[in-house]
Structure 1
Amino acid sequence: MGLAAFDDFFSGHARRYLLAAIELALSEDGPDLTSLAVFSPQDILRARIVAKEDSLVAGLPIVPLVLSALGALAACDLDFPVDEGARVDRGTVVCRLTGPAVAVLKSERVMLNFISHLSGIANLTARYVAALSGTNTRLLDTRKTLPGLRYPEKYAVTVGGGVNHRTNLADMLMLKDNHIDRAGGIPQAMAALRKAYENSMEIMPPVEIECRSLEEVVQAVAENPARIMFDNMDPPTMRRARALVPQGIETEASGGVDLDSIAAVAASGTDFVSVGRITHSAPAADFSMQLESIPRA
C-alpha cells in the first residue's frame, strides 16, 4: 500500500472526516493532567510502536496527523521502519518517535487505537480475501461501520485486499426491500427513481437492486441496473439466480456470509460478496507503545 495509497484514499472529504475523527479522539481524552504534573515542557521522550502479534499494519500515517493536531509535529522526529500495509512479525517496531513528553503521552492512546483498530480490520479482511482465492469473486465491505469512522475503516479494508462498496447513500442508489414494497414492486420503484432524476440537472448514480427471490431477479434484469444483489439466498438458489443475469450487469451476494460459507457463495459465480463483519466485528490487532525517557540537557 504505502503512503501514496493512504494519501490517495484520504483526499477531499475523506481527509476531512479523518481529521475530524482525530480531533474528536483527542478531545475525548481531555487534558493529560497527570503528565502535565510530572513532566516539564522541556522533557523529551523516545518511543517506539511495536507489533505484539503477527499482523498487517494499517494507520501509520495517522501518527503525524495526531501530532499535528496537537501542534507538536514540528518538535518531533519520526521514523517508520516498515511501510504502510506491510505484514509484520510479532516484535517488529513499526514506528519510532522522539518528541516532547507531554505530547507523546497525550497522543499515545489515540495513535494506538487507530492503528490497532484499522490493522485488525485489515487482518480480518485478508482472511476473507484468502478464502476467495482461486475464484473471480471479490470481497466488498458495507456501511456497517462505527459512526464517524466510515472512511478509516473502509481504508483498512483496502489494506486487507478488499473492495469498497458505497461510502455513503449517494454513491449508488440501492433499491432495498422497503423501497420495493412501498413502491409496489421493482418496476414501480425503478420508475420512481427515474422520475426523480428526469427533471434534475444531476446525473442518476448507478442503481443496485436487492432481490429476495428468483422472480425478483427476473424483474430486476428487465430494468438493466448496474448491479443485482442476491439477498440471503442459499448457494443453490444463488447459482440459479446468477444464471438469470446477463453479461453487463454485476452480481453481489449478501447476507449472513462468514468464513465457513464464503467459498460456497463464490462458487455460485457472483462478481462480489459483501461482508459486514469485516468492519463491525474485526478484533483489534495488538500494538503497544514502549517509552524511554531522555534526560534534560
Structure 2
Amino acid sequence: MRIEGIDAVELEDFINRAIKEDLGDGDHTSLACIDEAAQGTANLLVKDAGVLAGVELAKAILAQLTPELSIEVFLEDGAKVAVGDIAFRLSGPSQSILKVERLILNCMQRMSGIASLTARYVEEVAGLKVQLLDTRKTTPTLRFLEKWAVRIGGGNNYRTGLYDRIMIKDNHIDFCGDVQTAIQQVLFYLVAENKDLAITVEVRDMAELEAVLEMGQVDRIMLDNFSPAEIKTALAKIKGEFETEASGGITLENLRAYAETGVDFISVGALTHSFQSLDLSLKKS
C-alpha cells in the first residue's frame, strides 16, 4: 500500500514485525471461542477529544494482515474528534476483527496522542511565521510513525536521524574544544566525504554566538535554553544572515512568547516524548 510521504518498505517491515510480536502462531483465544464462519462489524470509537491520526496506517495494517475485512471510513487523519465519534467501521470475519484489534488501537492511540499535542502547540503560535519542529526524541524503531503523527497534527519534521543533517550540539563542541573548531572539522569532513548536508550549530550563550557569527559557514543557529529576551538580543546580532531556532525549556505556557521573538523555528521534544495517548476502542456494533 502506497502512502504519500511514507517509505513503503519501512511500513511493510514495521507491520510484519508488529504482527509477529502480537500474533505469534495464532490468536488462540479467538480461534477457540469464535466460530470460523462468524461474521461481524466493529466501530472504532473515540473516547477523548483531540486530533485523529493513524487511519491510513490502519488501512495498511488491514491490507497486509486481514485483507478479508472491509473498512468504511467516517473520519480521516487530521480530523478534530470528540467523545462518541466513530472513526471507521470494520466488517468481515469476527476472528479477523479480533486479530487486528490491538495492533490498530496501539498504533492509532499513540499517533493520535502525538497529533493532538502537536495541534495544541501549532494553535498556540497561530498567525506567527515560526515553524514548529519535532526532534529525535522518539521511540526507537517507531520514529517514522511518530514523525508522521507530528505532520498530521500540523507540525514539521526536523532531521530524520544522524545521517541527514549536521547538528553540532554541546557535546560535539565540548569534545572538539570550542565551537569554531567543531565547525571547521565539519567543513573538512563534508568536503572529504563529498557530502552536501545542511549545518545547524547549537550555541549556549552570547560568547558562543559571537564565535559562530565570526566563523560563519553554517545554515542555522540553534539558541539553546535562551530566554525570549535573550533570543531578541541574539536575533539583533544575527541580522537575518542565518536561519534561527529556539530550543530547550519551551512549553505550551511560554511557547507564544518564544514565537513572538521572530525566531524562524522552534523545536520541541515534548511532541514525541511527553504526549498522552488518545483513548480509542474497537467495539462490536
State the TM-score, normalizing by the size of structure 1: 0.90
Does 2:202 correspond to 1:210? yes
Does 2:215 correspond to 1:220? no
The amino acid that maps onto 2:48 is E
Equivalent residue, structure 2, for 1:281: 274
Distance 2:202 2:161 in 1: 17
Does 2:169 correspond to 1:173? no
For structure 2, the 5+ residue unaligned runs are none
Match of 1:132 among 125, 128, 148: 125
Equivalent residue, structure 1, for 2:41: 46
The count of corresponding residues between Structure 1 and Structure 2 is: 282
Question: Equivalent residue of 1:142, what SS?
Answer: coil
Question: Equivalent residue of 1:187, what SS?
Answer: helix
Question: Equivalent residue of 1:191, what SS?
Answer: helix
Distance 1:262 1:110 in 2: 34
- Among all aligned residue pairs of Structure 1 and Structure 2, give the percentage whose two residues are the same amino acid: 37
Q: Deviations over 1:65-106 (max 9, x none)?
A: 222332x21x22211012221112321111111122222101
Equivalent residue, structure 1, for 2:4: 8
Distance 2:282 2:55 in 1: 13
Match of 1:106 among 89, 99, 102: 99
Match of 2:152 among 154, 159, 163: 159
Distance 2:132 2:212 in 1: 22
Distance 1:205 1:50 in 2: 44
Distance 2:93 2:162 in 1: 43
Does 2:221 correspond to 1:231? no
Distance 2:260 2:250 in 1: 13
Question: Equivalent residue of 1:7, what SS?
Answer: coil
The amino acid that maps onto 1:247 is G
Cα contact 2:113–2:276 (8 A) shared by 1: yes
Q: Deviations over 1:230-250 (max 9, x none)?
A: 011122212111211132411
RMSD: 1.7
For structure 1, the 5+ residue unaligned runs are 293-297
Question: Equivalent residue of 2:29, what SS?
Answer: helix
Equivalent residue, structure 2, for 1:34: 29
State the TM-score, normalizing by the size of structure 2: 0.93
Equivalent residue, structure 1, for 2:179: 186
Question: Equivalent residue of 2:3, what SS?
Answer: helix
Question: Equivalent residue of 1:95, what SS?
Answer: strand
Match of 1:56 among 51, 65, 75: 51
Distance 2:197 2:241 in 1: 16
Equivalent residue, structure 1, for 2:79: 86
Q: Deviations over 1:111-161 (max 9, x none)?
A: 011111111111101111111123222211011111111011111111111
Equivalent residue, structure 2, for 1:260: 253
Distance 2:188 2:218 in 1: 15
Once the 2 structures are TM-superposed, how far is the Cα of residue 54 of structure 1 from its aligned partner?
2.3
Cα contact 2:69–2:96 (8 A) shared by 1: no
Distance 1:214 1:36 in 2: 66
Distance 1:239 1:109 in 2: 48
Cα contact 1:187–1:223 (8 A) shared by 2: no
The amino acid that maps onto 1:52 is K
Equivalent residue, structure 1, for 2:140: 147
Q: Which runs of 4+ in 1 moved over 6 A?
A: none
Equivalent residue, structure 2, for 1:95: 88
